[in-house]
Structure 1
Amino acid sequence: MTTAPSPVREPAWSLPRSAIGLWATEGVIGAVLLWLGIGAFLLFVPASAGGPVPVLRWLLPVLGVLVAVVTIGISPRIKHRVYRWEITAEAAYARTGWLTQTWTLVPISRIQTVDVTRGVLQQLFGLATVAVLTASSQGTVRIWHLEHDVAQRVADDLARRAELVRDQAT
């Protein structure tokens, strides 16, 4: 018999602090790309072009600085405080997002696949993502940026528990 998952509450675990470094690095990459675009605009569009160009020549650099400050200095720290995860006896769940928060809960009995993935930046920071998948398109829980060894242990544990639940059901 399957028991219902416990009510959604504050998940117990936060992400490692190295996730802040990863998010800040992603922010740096995004800011560099933005600044390349701003630089190209400033270089190739003459100031005498008229229309909104004179305003854009000072507005774009100001916006570029604001975006860089938010994506490098502010957003990673807020994300680290908000992103949380937990695996209980009944379910895997995570809370993500910093502007719009999303809670996702997957009962252990619904788990079909558990994957561990590592992007290039995650590898540089020693991190990995655990994806807990179900048949439902809305039922996937992704636990982002766990330390690689923790992610592997979580995935192994979830796969084992899901198999036990399937064995009990038959």
Structure 2
Amino acid sequence: MSAPPAPPVREPAWSVSRSAIWLWVTEGVIGTLVYGALVAVAVLTVPTSAGGPVPVLRWLLPTLVAVYAVVAVGVRPWIRYRVHRWEVTAETVHALTGWLTRTWTLVPVARIQTVDVTRGVLQQMYGLASVAVLTASSQGTVRVPHLEVAIAERVADDLARRAEQVRDEAT
């Protein structure tokens, strides 16, 4: 008897929470402030030399920070929101992440060993949580970032219950 055919690979059905956009904007602002402070220190403390590379760096570094700010605050959060997706089906957990490098991860429910819900500091500010579905394989972890807390808790409870049922049926 052969195994049933694998389900077709398709884009997962659900987006992360819209609040994730503002979390990513906040991360972009924080990164911009850090880079801006480092550039300000560098520009203000490095002595000017005649004809050397330092005069160029005095305008180039702030320009690079400004470009970073535009991308990190105005572009990246919106793109990430459009491309980060997740779904839980009867057989698998799907996650599609990354805005430059896309990562597609599928974990069969039968392979789930642990389901974790985590909340970082910024996630707590925006009422978000991430779900991590772990298997025995080092490559088998699925992370679904930035779900609303209630949804993350329901997903984790449902997956833990279904994984337990599958284990009970296997014994």
Aligned length: 169
Q: Note closer, same or farther for the CA distance 1:60–1:109 as it changes in structure 2 (3 Å cut).
A: same
Letter in 2 for 1:37: L
2:140 match: secondary structure? coil
Which ranges of 4 or more aligned residues in structure 1 deviate by more than 4 Å? 2-5
List per-residue Cα deviations over 1:21-66 (Å, max 9, x = no partner).
0000000000000000000011101223652111111100110000
1:4, 1:155 → 2: CA distance?
27
Residue 160 of structure 1 aligns with which residue? 161
1:90 aligns with 2:129: no
The correspondence of residues 19-168 of structure 1 with structure 2, limited to 5 A, is 19-48=20-49, 50-168=51-169
2:4, 2:87 → 1: CA distance?
18
Contact 1:5-1:91 at 8 Å conserved across structures: no
Letter in 2 for 1:125: Y
2:115, 2:52 → 1: CA distance?
55
Unaligned residue ranges in structure 2 (runs of 5+): none
CA RMSD of aligned residues (A): 1.3
Unaligned residue ranges in structure 1 (runs of 5+): none
Contact 1:5-1:90 at 8 Å conserved across structures: no
Q: TM-score scaled to structure 1, two decimals? A: 0.96
1:106, 1:55 → 2: CA distance?
51
Q: TM-score scaled to structure 2, two decimals? A: 0.95
2:6, 2:161 → 1: CA distance?
18
Q: Note closer, same or farther for the CA distance 1:77–1:107 as it changes in structure 2 (3 Å cut).
A: same
Letter in 1 for 2:157: D
1:27, 1:49 → 2: CA distance?
35
1:19, 1:40 → 2: CA distance?
32
Residue 15 of structure 1 aligns with which residue? 16
1:3, 1:73 → 2: CA distance?
45
Q: % of aligned pairs identical?
A: 67
Q: Note closer, same or farther for the CA distance 1:3–1:151 as it changes in structure 2 (3 Å cut).
A: farther
1:48 match: secondary structure? coil
1:150, 1:47 → 2: CA distance?
55
1:4, 1:36 → 2: CA distance?
56
1:3, 1:165 → 2: CA distance?
17
